[in-house]
Amino acid sequence: MPKTGSSAPPAPHKKNNAKPAPAAPAPPKKNSAKSAPAAPARASAKPPAAAPSGSALEIKDTRTGKTYNVPVTDGAIRATELKKIGTSDPDDTGLMSYDPAFLNTASCRSAITFIDGDKGILRYRGYPIEQLAENATFLEVAWLLRHGELPTQQEYDQFVHDITFHTYVHENMRKFLEGFRYDAHPMAMLNSSVAGLAAFYPSARNIFDETERNISIVRLLAKTPTIAAFSYRHVKGLPFVYPDNRLSYVENFLSMIARMSESKYEANPVFARALEILFILHADHEQNCSTSAVRGVGSSHVDPFSAVSAGVAALFGPLHGGANEQVLRMISEIGSVKNVPKFIETVKSGEGGRLMGFGHRVYKSYDPRAKIVKKLADEVFRIVGVDKDLEIALELERIALSDDYFTSRKLYPNVDFYTGLIYRSMSFPTDFFTVLFAIGRMPGWLAQWEEMLLDKEQKISRPRQIYTGLPERPFRSKLK
Ligand code: ACO
């Protein structure tokens, strides 16, 4: 049972004065761009190597001797422009760009999150992550990500009210969760349950109806913690705790996780705020693997529950959100500080796998979220005592940051390196860590999904390929 409770007074209901819901807004015109407020100017998000307007890339095709001018906008060329470059071969459909794993291909324009991986900068809608982690609530950030501006008090109160009153799930969803085996991984339960919500809300398929989008977004934000907590209680063999509408978002989640016979659960305010900060840190991270999955699946115009479940599935993987779980497993295998140098050698030789919680596709310096998490760990450990594995983690970081293998590859701790230690000190089981990440990432997935949907340039996501298989051959069955 997580050590999330305390006899200390609960965290104040910061900016959380529930008010009755107003009448539902009138449905907007189909595919109305109005439904997403205008994106704020990209004040801080300078595109790399921005070129003056009218500039172009001159490409000389040595196969034909022809020269092409490809326009450069925002530091990018349009890959479809390359199609114009071709030979006289009738089978040649024009030049393609080849970019496995999207190492250098922008798949969209986005006004939501800005990252400068070299400088270690992360901003949501222009606000530095450090300031949001210090001052904002998670639901304030959720609103900001979707709408582009911080909510007014009235907007915030209404939003909190809407979320609070949609935390219950249909009783059949509870039965669905009860159908899993006792040892089911909570991410597998979360993934299928989020997808399953589509069956409970068929009208969510009207994705170009703003009212439907609003309610689906509220439902996903409100019900994900409930599903997560139910999956936790199911695995533990404990009775499900229903949402308590008197509590804040995070306190209610902790209540559903840890409440036993008390009439009202009182969360430890330090734990509640620490978890809220971790949710904020995870809330969005531009076009990462899970967000790209949500955008890609959503581009088929499926309902948001199905689209977002693709994000949960992607997050489950050990190279993405599953890394927080793997960090703790790795530390426990290392066992002791004295074994760290030997372990680092096995990583460098390739025998010991990767140093989990290290490295990032975008950050080539210290992940700014990891800095905040490290500080947060100190605050939590002050209450629960220092985690026995912290020493090993600190030694891993110390050695890796002074080792040429890691520094030359610009491998630094990422957000997952220390989060697991905090989660475990709150007594969350290791396989629940990625679920906590998913709760935090939900607002980002939803904001990105809606931005994709309302972007007139987007179409169904469908990459090209370079065919490497056999040429045509006649069918000769090998069956007898
Ligand atoms: N430990 C050891 N070596 C590493 C690590 C690591 N954690 N990460 C990368 N490398 C090495 C690679 O072996 C490669 O070396 P090489 O050039 O000699 O072949 C080089 O660094 C570049 O690695 P890539 O795999 O090309 O980097 P990529 O950008 O594709 O991968 C990733 C990024 C997946 C995050 C990677 O660093 C990794 O696997 N890290 C461990 C898992 C992890 O912590 N994931 C969480 C990421 S944060 C998040 O999703 C929330």
Query: Which residues, listed in sequence order, are joined to residue 129 by a DSSP beta bridge?
Result: none
* Residue from 174, 145, 153, 138 nearest 251 by CA: 138
% residues pLDDT > 90 (the chain): 80
Identity (one letter) of the amino acid at 374?
A: K
pLDDT value of residue 343: 96
Report the C-alpha gap between 204 and 300 in whole angstroms: 14
The answer to pTM > 0.85 is yes
Q: Give whole-number Cα distances, 466 to 98, 228, 316, 436, in Å.
A: 8, 41, 29, 39
Residues with CB under 6 A from ligand 1: 319-321, 323, 347, 354-361, 409, 411, 414-416
* Residue from 391, 410, 390 nearest 400 by CA: 410
Report the C-alpha gap between 333 and 327 in whole angstroms: 10
> What single DSSP character describes residue 470?
-
Active-site residue, selected from the candidate residues 209, 282, 320, 389: 320
Report the C-alpha gap between 108 and 280 in whole angstroms: 23
Ligand 1 centroid distance, CA of 359 (Å): 5
Report the C-alpha gap between 319 and 480 in whole angstroms: 44
Per DSSP, the three-state class of 127 is strand
The answer to whether 277 and 141 are in contact (CB under 8 A) is no
At 2-49, the pLDDT tens digits run 555 543 333 333 454 333 333 333 333 433 333 334 333 333 345 445
Kind and range of the H or E run holding 113: strand 113-116
Q: Which residue has the tokens 């904020």?
A: 280
Identity (one letter) of the amino acid at 168?
A: Y
At 164-223, the pLDDT tens digits run 999 999 999 999 999 999 999 999 999 999 999 999 999 999 999 999 999 999 999 999
pLDDT value of residue 2: 59
Report the C-alpha gap between 190 and 167 in whole angstroms: 15
pLDDT value of residue 384: 87
Ligand 1 centroid distance, CA of 169 (Å): 38
Report the C-alpha gap between 349 and 210 in whole angstroms: 54
Active-site residue, selected from the candidate residues 116, 303, 389, 416: 416
Nearest CA to ligand 1 atom 15: 409
Report the C-alpha gap between 385 and 389 in whole angstroms: 12
* Phi and psi angles of residue 104, each rounded to the nearest 5 degrees, phi first: -145, 40
* Residue from 278, 25, 194 nearest 204 by CA: 194
166 is catalytic: no
Give the pLDDT of the chain (480 residues) as one tens digit per residue: 555 554 333 333 345 433 333 333 333 343 333 333 433 333 334 544 555 567 999 999 999 999 999 999 999 999 999 999 999 999 999 999 999 999 999 999 999 999 999 999 999 999 999 999 999 999 999 999 999 999 999 999 999 999 999 999 999 999 999 999 999 999 999 999 999 999 999 999 999 999 999 999 999 999 999 999 999 999 999 999 999 999 999 999 999 999 999 999 999 999 999 999 999 999 999 999 999 999 999 999 999 999 999 999 999 999 989 888 899 999 999 999 999 999 999 999 999 899 999 999 899 988 999 999 989 998 898 888 887 788 999 999 999 999 999 999 999 999 889 998 899 889 899 999 999 999 999 999 999 999 999 999 999 999 999 999 999 999 999 999
Active-site residue, selected from the candidate residues 161, 185, 282, 360: 360
* Substitution candidate for ligand 1 out of 129, 315, 358, 367 with most atoms within 8 A of CB: 358
Which residues lie closer than 8 Å to 118 by C-beta, 6 or more apart?
A: 364, 365
* DSSP state letters, 364-404: SS--HHHHHHHHHHHHHHHHH---TTHHHHHHHHHHHHT-H
> What single DSSP character describes residue 5?
B
Ligand 1 centroid distance, CA of 390 (Å): 22
360 is catalytic: yes
Ligand 1 centroid distance, CA of 162 (Å): 40
Ligand 1 centroid distance, CA of 328 (Å): 17
- Hey, what are 239's tokens? 């009775």
